[in-house]
Amino acid sequence: MKRILALLSSDIGRKVLMGLTGLLMIGFLIVHMAANLLVPFSKDAYNAYSHTLTSRPQIYLITLVELGLLALFAGHFVTGIWLTLRNWRARPIAYQRKDPAGAPSRKSLASSTMIYTGLVMLAFVPMHLATFKYGTWYEVEGANGQVRDLYRLAIEVFRSPIQSAWYLSALGLLGFHAWHGFGSGFESLGVAHKAGLRRCGQVLALILTLGFMVVPLYVMFGGGAS
């Protein structure tokens, strides 16, 4: 335990923690996106999926997963803030000009704005949970009786131009964050250059961004039950 604490208190340990928590959250985002893509295809399938996650005994497992995600999010954010402040203290006079750079720095617009896109995510995630997880509770008849009509809530939310604009903007910044974060995470674990993982991460970031944008755009262009 002392060795672990010593590692986490070092710069290398914090970078490893930052990379690992980020990659695990990207794994969650892939699953979350896949579930969201049910919306344009089947109202019943989407509601059934939502009901399955909130039914016993799955609810106990989901609660543990949510606590784990909260720990990942908190660990990622706190570590990111610490590393950013350390970098700022190390260079109190900012660069007059920031040009893109290749290995090993990988400096780019995405990498230079990670702290700011991360702060947007810090605001977005609680608002997202408040809107959907703890939002209006509609019910509809399903295969297993009355289930929450999360589909109806999603349609109502994204019919608001303001809500849709906010979500699309936040999702774009999430993709921007993941564009650099995926490769950086593997780099922190020492495997950034194997099998083109950095390029694969950029492709994945683009897929995630577009995948999450499907539902707001689908509703904005007239999709969804009335």
Which has the minimum average pLDDT: 19-28, 48-57, 74-83, 91-100? 91-100
Return the pLDDT at 127: 92
Mean local confidence (pLDDT), 48-76: 80
Q: Quote the pLDDT of residue 86.
A: 75
Instruction: Indicate whether 62 pLDDT > 60.
Output: yes
Instruction: Give the N- to C-terminal CA distance of the chain in Å, as an integer.
Output: 56
For residue 19, give the amino acid letter: G
Q: Mean pLDDT throughout 195-203?
A: 76
Residue 60 phi/psi, 5° resolution? -70, -40
Give Cα separations from 127 to 25, 68, 158, 166, 193 (angstroms).
Answer: 18, 19, 14, 11, 36
Do 80 and 185 form a contact (C-beta atoms < 8 A)?
Answer: no
* Dist CA 180 CA 1 (whole Å): 32
Return the ∠ at Cα 100 (arms to 93 and 171), rounded to 5°: 95
Percentage of the chain exceeding pLDDT 90: 30
Phi and psi torsions of 193, nearest 5°: -100, 5
- Contact present, 187 and 217 (Cβ < 8 Å): no
Check residue 91 and give its pLDDT.
Answer: 63
Amino acid at 161: P
What is this structure's pTM? 0.78
Pick the CATH number of 14-90+100-220 from 1.20.1300.10, 1.20.1440.130, 1.20.1050.90, 1.10.3720.10: 1.20.1300.10
Residue 193: per-residue pLDDT: 56
Neighbours of 9 (CB within 10 A): 9
d(CA 198, CA 103): 11
Q: What is the pLDDT of residues 7-49, one digit of tens each?
A: 556 666 667 777 777 778 888 889 999 999 999 999 999 999 8
> What's residue 58's pLDDT?
67
